[in-house]
Structure 1
């Protein structure tokens, strides 16, 4: 039997998923560079035509059920109803197997229909669409295993499977793309699409191994008499619970691309109203959606991982009625979110131009990057509060809040983007308003249902530490310019120095106490000994 979660299990899971996410992004970035050289712009275009169909089918096939599996499994485990957790998993996986298979077949046999009805305008994307179809079934099954293991608050399987999936996906993409390139660019694009299925198969094998290990551990334990009675929960009741939890998550996942499409319709049009040409509007829109937004998502990778970890952690405490534990876990998550997103936001504000130059070779994007730096903090809070509400069974609230925020974003986009002095920055502020309203509404309901209150004193210390970091880095940036240090070297050096300055400032200000320092996964004990030796932890 998996051991009961330790006090720092939440942060351990977050760290594991964050590291895995970073590894996956690095591998993906390298792959995209190589694949672009193999396929060229035309081949990449064919691949990109097929990929949205795959993502849409995948979101429909899973429909938020993995999150529901995670929540219900955590509840069953908390009640020591281990057989019940397995029944939920098997029922959910049965549902996902059917929906995944149907969507896979629909995409495979519907590729010709999509081409014939000009939904996909280039007929050469036919092979890429068909090659992606098996991955829909495999990823859907894979997601059910991830949800189940996350319900046990075991995050290592998810992390390892993500890395394995990415490695095999990239390897297969490059292999089949180069193998089929002599037959034509459409075949090469189809070969690259085959990587999704290969990666999903590898990730699924990893998860099957961890599932087998967990099953083997469970065989050494028996359910209590009380739990055994609960195993007879009617199937129809379990299905209702799964649907009730999964539907809001599914709606939220659909709302994200919907809002993105609204941006596509409104922002370029309003930029033209502000006096920009069509070409200029397109370029500015690319700065926002293709450069600034990905940087915000990258900066909130840790809070995205935390949001995944917090769902089963809160759900476990909620089912036992342990409100104090819910408050403690919520407080831990919120403190962590503040700890990492505040300096990230300040750093992105100060280093907007060198980062935009280093990453995209587009210093012109720094204006909107600087505006969206506020979104790092807002998105981080939104992610964590969404996880807390989902864990408590209030999954519909974040969806409603996102809907309200989306309406506000549309209004702000329409008016602010058309202001000549703002332009694309107006769209950036509209995005901040969207994230801010959603985060604020989520936070209100978290406080209402958990009794949680933000520690304003500690928050103030985080803000002061980030301000110190920002002032120091701004000065050091000027020094690197005077010294003629290259953009890439200077940016990397400044980021490392920013992390160091912020860490020291936080500890000197007493924002992290001795016990919290020791509880930081992996590096906590080392940091504690280091700062004890220099007397920096005596707050």
Structure 2
């Protein structure tokens, strides 16, 4: 029994380690991307950025269609095969899916390249100067599709380092190429400079692909596929594998398409209803920008850890599911949702308290602060939705999150229509509608997670986390007023984050919710922090 518990604890530790690796990579990628955007904006100016942005949605749509949720399906089936030590079967799944993705990526790349002129002629792209940018992005569709297939396979082995390293190198090469080609081609005209910037997507993808190929070859050498037992190869045909890939991938793909669909519904509904509330077209556009261009990115930034956790969860849960280990699934679920609460609840409180200072420091737009404050209330539920979606996908129930997202989207559209038109709410009404979307999707997912795993939310643990976050919020509110006036908006934000983290951590240790085991998993300073918990434990006794 102790051996089983030790194995399960090791699995949970591996899950958290993978999450940490992807989180660090995500932060690095975002920092590099932010610096790039600042420099590129200075090179191209607003008009050049606009030309680049006109081409980019076409690229994203083609990429979504070319991958079609297959990488997540690869991750799930590979994890199942690896758990059963069917390494040859795992490799066969990858080769089959790679062939499919290579074909779909090539077709979509060609459609983007040869269809660029048609998009301009039909005025789907309104400015003809975006043509070079569309052409430059076409090869990247194929390369990123291939990149996604290798990431899915290696994640199925629960190897998160290759994904992290490839993400960082992809971003570095992408940014370097964007800035180099944009500056080099600028003398030939703004449209060519925008096209030069678009080349960066393909260059970055090629660099990331080289990294993943290295890890893939190393993995193949590590396992002698000829000597490993082949448990299912004889029984499972290529047609059967292809059918299973599609069954898993299609709902995931539709879920990915749901996000831009809901965003487009917001675009259609919110500005119109703001005008019905009495705002002018210009005011409605500005308010819509506060919501979608400022508040939503901050909310997404607050859930960067849960987004990384969601990636790590899919293969971990799929492995346990294939072994019939319900205890391990429940342990993964408990650990993941506890970490979600530990991270997102203080993030929600901190963002709520610092909403106006954040909007001022980041966007120089204090008027966006109230919208940020409203959306802060949805951070915890967004994190829950991300994590529970991955749990259900890992268990093979990929259709359920899609259905729940659809129900939540209907609720959101209905509330947008009614609340945004109220003069007393306006854009804040659209913010509350977005929160309702997160809550409905998260709660529906939780119902099914309970049904399939038996997981229940520990109210006592949640109460301690909320209490610690509340104390942190009070201290943060009092301290920020002094810091903001003393050292300025930007420096105050960084000081506030450090102060909040310290206060929150201390309160959790006093309450006994942050354990030695939790802290030992923190890189570099984990052992030191774990010793501090001993002091607080003696104090409580």
TM-score range, shorter chain: over 0.9
Residues 13-59 of structure 1, C-alpha deviation per residue, up to 9 Å, x if partnerless?
10000110000000001101111111111111111110000000000
1:275 aligns with 2:305: no
Runs of 4+ in 1 over 6 A off after TM superposition: none
Deviation at 1:521, TM superposition (A): 5.3
2:445 counterpart residue number: 442
Aligned position for 2:122: 117
Q: Distance in 1 between matches of 2:483 and 2:526?
A: 32
TM-score (norm 2): 0.96
Does 1:20 find its partner at 2:25?
yes
Counterpart residue number, 1:69: 74
2:465 counterpart of 1:462? yes
- 8 Å CA contact 1:157–1:206 kept in 2: the answer is yes
Work out whether residues 531 and 537 of structure 1, in 8 Å CA contact, stay in contact via their aligned partners in 2.
no
Deviations 1:328-350 (A, max 9, x none): 01000000000000000000001
Measured against aligned partners, the alpha-carbon deviations of 1:79-104 in whole angstroms (never above 9, x if no partner) come to: 00000000000000000000000000
What is the aligned partner in structure 2 of residue 506 from structure 1? 508
Structure 1 residue ranges without an equivalent (≥5): none
Per-residue CA deviation, residues 58-83 of structure 1 (Å, 9 max, x unaligned), is 00000000000000000000000000
Aligned in 2, Cα 1:231/1:335: closer, same or farther, shift over 3 Å?
farther
Out of 284, 287, 294, the residue aligned to residue 284 of structure 1 is 287
Name the CA distance, whole Å, in 1 between partners of 2:205 and 2:531. 42
Aligned with residue 361 of structure 2, among 358, 370, 374: 358
Could you report, residue by residue, the CA deviation over 1:158-187 in whole angstroms, capped at 9, with x for unpaired residues? 000000000000000011111111111111
| Maintained 8 Å contact 1:12/1:521 | no
1:109-508 counterparts in 2 under 5 A? 109-219=114-224, 222-224=227-229, 227-230=230-233, 232-481=235-484, 484-508=486-510
1:99 alignment partner in structure 2? 104
Change (3 A) 1:536 1:274: farther
CA distance in 1, matches of 2:170, 2:49: 21
Q: How many Å separate the matches in 1 of 2:243 and 2:371?
A: 44
CA distance in 2, matches of 1:111, 1:425: 39
CA distance in 1 between counterparts of 2:330 and 2:486 reads: 50
Residues 460, 534 of structure 1: alpha-carbon distance in 2 compared, 3 angstrom cutoff: closer
Q: What secondary structure sits across from 1:393 in the alignment?
A: coil
Q: Report SS of the residue matched to 1:7.
A: helix
Cα deviation 1:478-500 (Å, max 9, x = unaligned): 2225x533111111111110011
For the 8 Å contact 2:326–2:453, the answer to whether it is kept is yes
Q: Contact 1:354/1:487 (CA < 8 Å) preserved in 2?
A: yes
Distance in 1 between the 2:51 and 2:116 partners? 13
Deviations 1:226-260 (A, max 9, x none): x3454551011000100000000000010100000
The unaligned stretches of length 5 or more in structure 2 are 1-6
| CA–CA separation in structure 1 for the residues paired with 2:327 and 2:536 | 36
Indicate whether 1:36 and 2:41 are aligned: yes
User: How many equivalent pairs are there?
Assistant: 534
Contact 1:345 1:374 in 2 (8 A): yes
Aligned partner of residue 394 in structure 1, secondary structure:
coil
Contact 2:509 2:536 in 1 (8 A): no
Give the 3 Å change call, closer, same or farther, for CA 534–382 of structure 1 in structure 2. closer
Q: Does 1:82 align with 2:82?
A: no
Query: Matches of 2:446 and 2:458 in 1, distance apart?
Result: 13
SS at match of 2:12: coil
Q: TM-score, normalised by structure 1?
A: 0.97
What CA distance in whole angstroms lies between the structure 2 residues aligned with 1:362 and 1:352?
Answer: 11
- Preserved contact between residue 49 and residue 125 of structure 1 (Cα < 8 Å): yes
> Considering only aligned residues, what root-mean-square deviation do their CA atoms show, in Å?
1.6
SS at match of 1:147: helix
Query: How far, CA to CA, are the matches of 2:278 and 2:232 in structure 1?
Result: 70
Contact 1:514 1:537 in 2 (8 A): no
For the 8 Å contact 1:248–1:399, the answer to whether it is kept is yes
- Please give the alpha-carbon distance, in whole angstroms, between the structure 2 residues aligned to 1:209 and 1:23: 22
CA distance in 1 between counterparts of 2:538 and 2:218 reads: 43
Shift in Å at residue 538 of structure 1? 5.8
Change (3 A) 1:464 1:128: same
What do the CA deviations read for 1:286-345 (whole angstroms, capped 9, x no partner)? 000000000000000000000000000000000111000100010000000000000000
CA distance in structure 1 between the aligned counterparts of 2:29 and 2:471, rounded to whole angstroms: 32
How many Å separate the matches in 1 of 2:369 and 2:327? 44
CA distance in 2, matches of 1:450, 1:65: 25
CA distance in 1, matches of 2:16, 2:332: 10
